[in-house]
Chain A
Amino acid sequence: MGTNAAGVVFIVSMVLALALTYRPLGDHMARVYTSRKHLRVERGIYRLVGVDPDAEQRWVVYARSVLAFSLVSILFLYLFQRVQNHLLLALGFPAVKPALAWNTAISFTTNTNWQAYSGESTMGHLVQMAGLGVQNFVSAAVGIAVVIALVRGFARKNTDQLGNFWVDLVRTIVRILLPICVLMAIVLIAGGAIQNFHGNRSVTTLTGGSQSITGGPVASQEAIKELGTNGGGFYNANSAHPFENPTTWTNWLEIYLLLAIGFSLPRTFGKMVGSTRQGLAIVAVMAVLALGSLGANEAFQALHHGTVPTAVGAAREGTETRFGVPDSALFATGTTLTSTGAVDSFHDSYTSLGGATLLFNMMLGEVAPGGTGSGLYGMLVLAVVTVFVAGLMIGRTPEYLGKKIGSREIKFASLYFLTTPTIVLVGTGVAMALPGERAGMLNSGAHGLSEVLYAFTSAGNNNGSAFAGITVNTDWYNTALGLAMAFGRFLPMIFVLGLAGSLARQQPVPATAGTLPTHRPQFAGMLVGVTVIIVALTYFPALALGPLAEGLH
């Protein structure tokens, strides 16, 4: 089989696997969030935490719980890194410096996993597994909890109760994330991923040189890194590292894991609002956007336009031999369409237009399928905007799932969509205006602007992947990107929960002949259009100055 044919089969097999997962995983998650029973281990956890699992919360209380948990997480992770030299398994590394520890704490708590450090030369094993690894679980669970609260807003009526954050958080971890991770971590070890507590072991190589073989509890972290769309690598080389992603088939598995929950949540949504067709419409929109973006990226990489790719004869720089160019492009597309940010090849060395499609994926707001939870709530807010636009066109009161989209709802939706572009564009603008920060670029000219734009897009959208050439481990970038990650995560969450609260209070209006059906291709097509147009209008000038200028050069 040729490279291109194998690449096509690789993609088709992935689509099939996700399609087969959609129902069972989606239905399982719907059961998890509607069940009235608590497992014994969960009861134990609630008792230790000191919360009543049967007491529900209003949206403000739910939001305060999310923020309290995240704030405590940031402080804990910050302190953990600051004292790591006094703890077990520190491997002799010093305490992490304040600005970097701050950036990393926000980064992992917000599910961004932007890394301004190299794992193998900064973090001891204990911080990796009991600090960063824990946030991989809980930040993913927080994202899912928030979208479940929004779905309850659509599903419920005449109430101000949106569920209990602590229950949603604990159930996500105990019933969904942990069981899958245990299984997949073992499968990854079978493929060659490592799982040990060794420090660096020095060996004499075949030719008499020396090499340090690194150790660490890598496989357990790798599984949740992908499943929770976190993306923070144990090592600097992330999923390109042979100890994280050793074979061609572990590469397939890791891509599958990072897409599985995002593409199954629409089924959960459909189940919970009582119409699986609504979930199907949403997943169709996600699939169309994802396949369109993937097709573009694969084509640009295969055509390897540009000076260096032409000289090489392929877009080979920064890719592993075992993965090859097409499978790397699928990983890159998947990681930027979700909020993962893990990489198995390095995006800075992609062709200009291939790199531009990755930027565009993140600018879409990561809704196709997006991060665990955050992708679906982004898409549902877009659906709200779409019914509003459609309502204006046909002169009717906009409704979605029987809920009126009035001025309060559309204000929350608009605020949601203004937040991230503001963070990204203002941040990039300020960085480019400061001479010191501009000098941090590794490449000059248009590609340098792409590096800065990519960094703020990645932070603001909580992705965490990088055009890694830029020097970001400076106090300024650590602080600015830390703020971008925090605002890019928590402001949208507050708006989503506010929207959920105002939807839950409503009595649904009965569907009439004049109601716009939201499960038909017509609506799905319109939702795709609205998504693309919002992004294009917002970011086109910045894209034109960066990757487009370089690609058309």
Chain B
Amino acid sequence: MPSTRLPSVVRQHLAAFRALLVLTVLTGIAYPLLITGVAQLPGLKDRANGSLVKNAAGQVVGSSEIGQLFTDDKGNPIPKYFQSRPSAAGDGYDPTSTSASNLGPESIVDAFDDPATKDTDESKQSLLTQVCARSKAIGDTEGVDGRRPFCTAAGVGAVLSVFRTEGTTGPITRVVSINEECPATPFMATYQGVKVECAEYGKDYSAGITVPIKGPGRGTGNPVPPDAVTASGSGLDPDISPAYAYLQVNRVAKARGLDPATLHRLVHDRIDGRALGFMGEPTVNVLNLNRALDATSR
């Protein structure tokens, strides 16, 4: 056979290449096709195709696995719909651009938008300010106290840059509320006897020590629950916590002219508990809840 006269290195790589081709056919073509074939069985088919759901008129309106926005053209929440969590996927719930925010636990300093341009790109906000702003907005909408620790009453991160004579020690010379852009009035007038200034675009305050100020709000036990003020990992989270669903009952009932107690019961009946009683967390699927509402009221 001629192949035996090839150097062993070449023979080895030829064998490697043939092995890769054979295994590609086996695990890369036959296996996924087999699974796709099995997925055509009744009971599996709808799920394998993406769990698509329809509205009252019979049109496909999305997938029950994938969350969506319930906002108007300007991005404002539509009162008659339960709202999803914040999303970092594209402009919100974009399945072609799934993402988490990836902002860290100490992401607390905002970068202001350039006043010369008109865009208001939220990605320049720190995670802290995003949380504060969402909590305030939801608190205002739902009529509860959404103030949180380390947040100002206006809904930005309550963070000071404290300048001292010796850098980290010595008397305080200057204090700037770094997330409040001038001409805002800082959330506190003085810090340890020194007047607090607002921050100006383009100034570097990194020489000061960054000090978050805790303030009066509640984190644990806040009426606006944690899932309402944070983005999910996928950006497509189809669910909200029962607490966030209950928080929205009064507003939705009013917008739809329903009895809040009836709506409360409807939400209660739609809670998906933990699998086997201990896996994961109880959830409410927002799209399914809103579809059910549309089917019974306008």
Residues on A facing B (Cβ under 8 Å): 1, 3, 5-6, 9-10, 13, 45, 48-51, 64-65, 68-69, 71-73, 76, 118, 120-121, 129-131, 133-134, 137-138, 166, 169-170, 173-174, 178, 181-182, 185-186, 189-198, 200-201, 203-207, 209, 211-215, 217, 219-221, 224, 235-237, 240-243, 246-249, 251-252, 306-324, 327-328, 343-346, 348-352, 355, 442-447, 450, 467-469, 550, 553
Contacts and interface: CB of A to CB of B under 8 A. Distances in A.
B102 A313 contact: no
A72 B234 contact: no
A42 to B, nearest CB: 11
B234 A468 contact: no
8 contacts: A118-B98, A192-B65, A207-B68, A237-B236, A242-B236, A248-B281, A316-B229, A317-B131
A351 B89 CA distance: 22
Contacts of B217: 311
Interface string B86-128: 0001000111111111111111110000000000000000011
A314 B219 CA distance: 8
B18 A318 contact: no
B259 to A, nearest CB: 23
A118 B97 contact: yes
Interface of B: 3, 9, 12-20, 22-24, 26-29, 31-32, 34-36, 38-39, 43-44, 47-52, 55, 59-63, 65-72, 78, 81, 85, 89, 93-109, 127-128, 131-132, 148-151, 212, 214, 217-222, 226-227, 229-241, 272, 274-281, 283, 287, 290-291, 294
B26 A173 contact: yes
A134 B27 contact: yes
A313 B50 contact: no
A50 B14 contact: yes
Contacts of B230: 312, 316-319
Contacts of B280: 6, 247-249, 251, 322-324, 327
B20 A76 contact: yes
Contacts of A215: 50
A278 B78 CA distance: 64
A1 B278 contact: yes
Contact of B281 (A69, A323, A553): A323
Contacts of A351: 105
A306 to B, nearest CB: 4
A76 B25 CA distance: 14
B100 A349 contact: yes
Contacts of B107: 308, 443, 447
A308 B18 contact: no
A22 to B, nearest CB: 22
Contact of A64 (B12, B38, B43, B227): B12
Contacts of B69: 205, 207, 209
A345 B151 contact: no
Contacts of B14: 50
B31 A349 contact: no
A50 B128 contact: no
Contacts of A204: 59, 61
Given A137-B27, A219-B35, A9 B102 contact: no
Contact of A134 (B23, B52, B81, B105): B23
A237 B98 contact: yes
Contact of B68 (A182, A211, A320, A553): A211
A242 B238 contact: yes
A313 B147 CA distance: 12
Contacts of B241: 321
A130 B24 contact: yes
A45 B20 CA distance: 11
B32 A6 contact: no
A321 to B, nearest CB: 4
Contact of B13 (A72, A118, A173): A72
Contact of B100 (A72, A212, A224, A237): A237
Contacts of B238: 242
A228 B172 CA distance: 57
A313 B219 contact: yes
Contacts of B16: 65, 68-69, 71-72
B227 to A, nearest CB: 5
Contact of A212 (B23, B59, B95): B95
A146 B110 CA distance: 50
A318 B106 contact: no
Contacts of B39: 186, 189, 195-196, 219
A460 B149 CA distance: 39
Contacts of A181: 31
Contacts of A346: 100-102, 233
B153 to A, nearest CB: 14
Contacts of A327: 279-281
Nearest to A129: B32
A94 B223 CA distance: 48
A427 to B, nearest CB: 21
Nearest to A443: B104
Contact of B234 (A3, A212, A242, A447): A242
A30 to B, nearest CB: 23
Given A134-B20, A197-B36, A328-B233, 17 more contacts: A65-B16, A182-B31, A186-B38, A217-B32, A220-B36, A236-B98, A237-B89, A237-B233, A240-B100, A241-B234, A318-B102, A321-B240, A322-B280, A322-B283, A348-B102, A447-B107, A550-B105
A190 B44 contact: yes
A321 B27 contact: no
Contacts of A191: 47
A311 B43 CA distance: 44
Given A194-B47, A236-B98, A203 B62 contact: yes
Contact of A312 (B52, B85, B226, B277): B226
Contacts of A197: 36
B124 to A, nearest CB: 12
Contacts of A45: 19, 22-23, 26
B60 A312 contact: no
Given A130-B28, A243-B50, A308-B127, A213 B66 contact: yes
B95 A213 contact: yes
A33 B298 CA distance: 65
Nearest to A51: B15
B220 A121 contact: no
Contacts of B13: 68, 71-72
A355 B102 CA distance: 12
A213 B52 contact: yes
A211 B95 contact: yes
B61 A205 contact: yes
A1 B281 CA distance: 10
Contacts of A178: 26-27, 31
